[in-house]
Amino acid sequence: MNKPARGSLLSIEHLEDKEILGLLKLARRMNPLRARPLLRNKRVVLLFYEASTRTRSSFEIAAKSLGAITTLVQSSGSSIEKGESLLDTGYTLRAVGADAIVIRHPAAGAPHLMAKHLDIPVINAGDGMHEHPSQALLDAFTILKHKKAFKGLQVAIIGDIYHSRVTRSNCHLLARFGAKITLCGPPEFVPDVAATLAPGLRVTRHVEEALRGADVIMLLRLQKERLAGQKIRLQDYISRYQMTAARLKLARRDAIVMHPGPIIRGLELTAEVADSPQSKIIDEVHNGVPTRMAILVRALGKAK
């Protein structure tokens, strides 16, 4: 059992302020169309135990833009199906020459386990309900494109907070830099304990209260795959929490709407909101590439 290798990115919670700011600064300098081959001859393994479109493709494009070789390992079609343990899969990938592993896994803490036993950087691309640090960084990157600073920013996060690793990472990051965060949803999705996650968090059941004066609105998908028997009446949820054009008017006029995707139109938001000028949902996806380039350069590059 060791400390994670330098350049690992396991969580936002344990990342220092200056590292977060450093990554955001580096991300601003990254352009996939005009990138220096900082990762030439480096081998990046994308180890995905869960489905992914955005995260997987943007990590892959980020790595390739920087000159790295990538290979994708998924649970189906690999020895994982035959019962190989997570650590043995890690040792195997290290032995074939991986210089870094980007891992997405349905179990919280899986990247931590791998990082404790491998001497190469491990990058968490989403672990269970725990964290999704690269998403929080790209969200921060997106916010800073539209807002001057995090300090004093009113952020409303609406939806299935309990199952959301994105929210956990975002709360750690934004609260750290002085944003005022309101978590909103029914108790099944937003238990009272959620307010203990970071300093200055507030919980409300009323979407109007969360939206009033908000600068940033973050919406979440209802994660049916993690609901584990919870009975949520969709119609009820829609009528109380769906982001509609009318509700959007409660927020500040220059408020931006964000969503880590995938979005379900007609459920957590209307198509009108998704396609409105205030929606930065596609912009987030776009910003995923430079952000993940920065993460990979930090992990494997030869300094800045």
Is 215 a binder of another protein (CB under 8 A)?
no
Nearer to another protein, 13 or 209 (CB): 13
Say how far apart CA 236 and CA 75 lie, in whole Å. Answer: 36
Nearer to another protein, 110 or 257 (CB): 110
Closest distance of CB 110 from another protein, Å: 5
By CB under 8 A, name the one of 13, 84, 272, 283 that touches another protein: 13
Closest distance of CB 178 from another protein, Å: 20
Nearer to another protein, 123 or 256 (CB): 123
By CB under 8 A, name the one of 42, 43, 104, 105 that touches another protein: 105
Q: Is 92 within 8 Å of 114 (Cβ atoms)?
A: no
Identify which of 268, 77, 280, 297 has the alpha carbon closest to the alpha carbon of residue 186.
268
Closest distance of CB 185 from another protein, Å: 14
Interacting positions 149-178 with another protein (CB under 8 A): 162, 165, 168
Q: Could you tell me which stretch among 83-91, 93-101, 208-216, 294-302 binds another protein (CB under 8 A)?
A: 83-91
Closest distance of CB 193 from another protein, Å: 5
Residue recorded with tokens 């054009």: 245
Interacting positions 216-275 with another protein (CB under 8 A): 228-229
Give the contacts of 221 (CB within 8 A, at least 6 positions apart): 159, 160, 259, 260, 261, 262, 263, 264, 267, 268
Nearer to another protein, 165 or 280 (CB): 165
Is 86 a binder of another protein (CB under 8 A)?
yes
